[in-house]
Amino acid sequence: MEDEDTQPEEELYDPILVLLRERFRAKGNCRLERTDRQIPDDIKKGLDNVALLSLRAERMLPDLMGYLDVKGLIFTRESRLIVVEIKSDALTLKDLYQVKMYAEVFQAYYAFLISPNGFQEERRRVIIDTPELLNFYPQNGERQITVMYWRNNILEIDEELCEEDPFETEFLW
């Protein structure tokens, strides 16, 4: 499953950013930025004190972060935080826990772990046998990390690991 011509991780950020924005377009306005070196002030404004302290003390920098602005009930608007971790190599459980940490510390609504290679078989089996490894727990309840492949400039959800499609339109009755 591993590519022999592994691209440097940083070269994956911009094309994946563009594809994620496109995928979220049906749900609302997606403001996604590269945050691998620093997090812009407009993203920091939506973070709580714990997240801001973690940024400063621990230098916690997901590769991409941003917000999806969606319409809520009765003409309200809601901004949902997105965190994205991108790896150029095969994914590891350590990578999974890294994005889980970001999702929980930053109180994300959406969390993505993306790689051209996905998980190797042994790690896949661990996740299949222990699906709660993909769960994270922000204040707004239980959510699931979305594992995706990036191949030939296409993003695909790993449907064997992920039950939910975060890009499907939600209906708020």
Q: Return the CATH number at 66.
A: 3.40.1350
For the chain, the domain total comes to 1
62 located within any domain: yes
Are 87 and 95 in contact by the 8 Å Cβ rule? The answer is: yes
Write down the pLDDT at residue 132: 96
pLDDT in single tens digits along all 173 residues of the chain: 444 467 899 999 999 999 999 999 989 899 999 999 999 999 999 999 989 988 888 888 999 999 999 876 666 778 999 999 999 999 999 999 999 999 999 999 999 999 999 999 999 999 999 999 999 998 878 999 999 999 999 999 999 999 889 998 665 54
- For 108, residues 6+ apart whose C-beta sits below 8 A from its C-beta are 81, 82, 83, 102, 136, 138, 143
Q: What is the pTM of this model?
A: 0.91
Write down the pLDDT at residue 5: 62
Write down the pLDDT at residue 9: 94
Q: Which domain holds residue 109?
A: 10-157
170 located within any domain: no
162 located within any domain: no
2 located within any domain: no
Write down the pLDDT at residue 6: 76
Between CA 102 and CA 121 the distance in angstroms is: 25
Write down the pLDDT at residue 3: 47
173 located within any domain: no
